Structure 1
Amino acid sequence: MGLENDATEMFLMSGWATGYSFRCDIVDYSRSPQALRMAWTCWLFYLSKFIELLDTVFFVVRKKNGQVTFLHVYHHTIMSFTWWFGVKFAPGGLGTFHALVNCIVHIFMYSYYGLCALGPNYQKYLWWKKYMTAIQLIQFVVITVHIGQFFLMKNCQYQYPIFLYVIWSYGVSFMILFLNFWYYAYTRGQRLPKNTINKSKEE
């Protein structure tokens, strides 16, 4: 969780709390301290995706293959792959907003799983699991709306629009998968079918 806290602070101080408009924020390719800090923050976020990929390794080693679901593999592989291109060519601007939101959500998420790991005595503090899923759904709505405004702008000179299409696709696809999770887990009150979605940890 410390890495998520650091990345959140760095994203904020590199632009999102220090001058970005939350609309047409282009990539700053200068060597200014703020631009370099944003580039470093993007690399840090990119590396964190590989740390998260270790979840899959741990599941396989512990022979919990039922937890290696479609969403689990989809999320970890696509984020690692696409973020290499993002951090290589566009380390900054409006294409990094989803990373900031993702880091904030991960702070809540890893707090929840930290309490889970402490054992049965802490189960009484885990009443907010349903709200964790709601927070994640809100994350995808916010990301989709934020990126979606680009398609309505008449003159936004963001340098790599292809990344915005990819991010928008993230938001929509994960929103659909988590709505499916919500339906099975909280509306029907059933365990999820295999190969659908694993647990609310995925984002």
Structure 2
Amino acid sequence: MAGFILNAQKMWDEVLINADPRVEDWFMMSSFVPSLVICVLYVIIVLLGPSLMANRKPLDIKNVLLVYNLGMVALSTYIFMEFLLSGWATGYSLHCQPVDYSNSKAAMRMASACWWFYISKFIELFDTIFFIMRKKFRQVSFLHVFHHGIMPFSWWFGVKFVPGGFGTFHALLNSFIHLMMYTYYGLAALGPQYQKYLWWKKYMTKMQLTQFILCLIHASQLLYMDCNYPTLFAYWIALYAGIFLVLFANFYHQSYISHKSKPQSNGAVQNGVKEKSN
């Protein structure tokens, strides 16, 4: 057992040789353990939460939700703009785009945008906690939990090794989707009188599906293109996009095609989950 641990440590040390030294001292970046622990705790809360709330009344946290969603709109907008201004609107290629590991202003700005995107994925775990506090257990679906639970940990590796370049295309799209989603979700939390502004519920899921299709097409380029970008990360992005394309397509089919004859409640869409307004 000791030998196995030593060999694993040796292999990990060899992997770390390729880590980006610029982010070594950034918050949460020296080790993947804190990210892993938080994601595991998140799953534990999801499993235990319904039992803990079973004999309690749903919590009225409307004001908390309003502040939270407004904050997430602001953060998602900031991250989206930073991805644009540090690369995707200032010269990044949609084809081969290596990571700039220099200390130039643009390169550091892109690395910072990646780090903020990574941090935002931890904040988004509160989506699920708020569902549980309000006893909206049906909203805590496999799709919802899987999406939230895997993103923070997987993005630690993105920031640690490739904070920029080709792989940030999906983060650019995702940050835009989230600023739209939290805008929608915030309006839904205001109450029934705002339902007239929520006519675009169905289109949020379509936007999410489009996001995954674009990510698949973009990532697949490295299957036949020579590019100074680690193909392992491109494969991971393609796999991730493919899995969620299937899951979100199934959600769309269940919600808007197979059940289209049933009355649909006006509510927000949270990572493929419809949330009834309060």
Q: What TM-score do you get using the length of structure 1 for normalisation?
A: 0.91
Amino acid at match of 2:92: Y
1:202 pairs with 2:271: yes
Q: Out of 238, 250, 271, which is 1:180 matched to?
A: 250
Structure 2 regions of 5+ residues with no counterpart?
A: 1-72, 262-267, 273-278
Partners in 2 of 1:118 and 1:90 — Cα distance? Answer: 39
Which is greater in Rg? 2
Shift of 1:59: 2.3
Amino acid at match of 1:119: G
Amino acid at match of 2:235: Y
**RCO comparison, higher one (Cα < 8 Å, 6+):** 1
Amino acid at match of 2:228: Q
Structure-to-structure mapping, 1:133-144, within 5 angstroms:
133-144=205-216
Corresponding residue number in structure 2 for 1:163: 233
Shift of 1:79: 0.6
Partners in 1 of 2:184 and 2:131 — Cα distance? Answer: 19
User: Could you report, residue by residue, the CA deviation over 1:15-63 in whole angstroms, capped at 9, with x for unpaired residues?
Assistant: 1111111111011111001100011110000000000011122223333
CA RMSD of aligned residues (A): 1.6
Corresponding residue number in structure 1 for 2:164: 92
Structure-to-structure mapping, 1:35-54, within 5 angstroms:
35-54=107-126
Select between 128-137 and 42-51 the one with higher mean Cα deviation.
128-137
Identity %: 56
Corresponding residue number in structure 1 for 2:105: 33
Shift of 1:67: 2.1
Structure 1 regions of 5+ residues with no counterpart?
A: 192-198
Corresponding residue number in structure 2 for 1:60: 132
Amino acid at match of 2:209: L
Displacement over 4 Å in runs of 4+? none
Partners in 1 of 2:207 and 2:197 — Cα distance? Answer: 17
Corresponding residue number in structure 1 for 2:265: none
User: Could you report, residue by residue, the CA deviation over 1:120-154 in whole angstroms, capped at 9, with x for unpaired residues?
Assistant: 1111111111111111111111111111111121x
User: Could you report, residue by residue, the CA deviation over 1:135-174 in whole angstroms, capped at 9, with x for unpaired residues?
Assistant: 1111111111111111121x2121x221111111111111
Q: Is the 8 A contact 2:219 2:237 kept in 1?
A: yes
Q: Out of 63, 69, 83, which is 1:11 matched to?
A: 83
Partners in 2 of 1:131 and 1:40 — Cα distance? Answer: 31
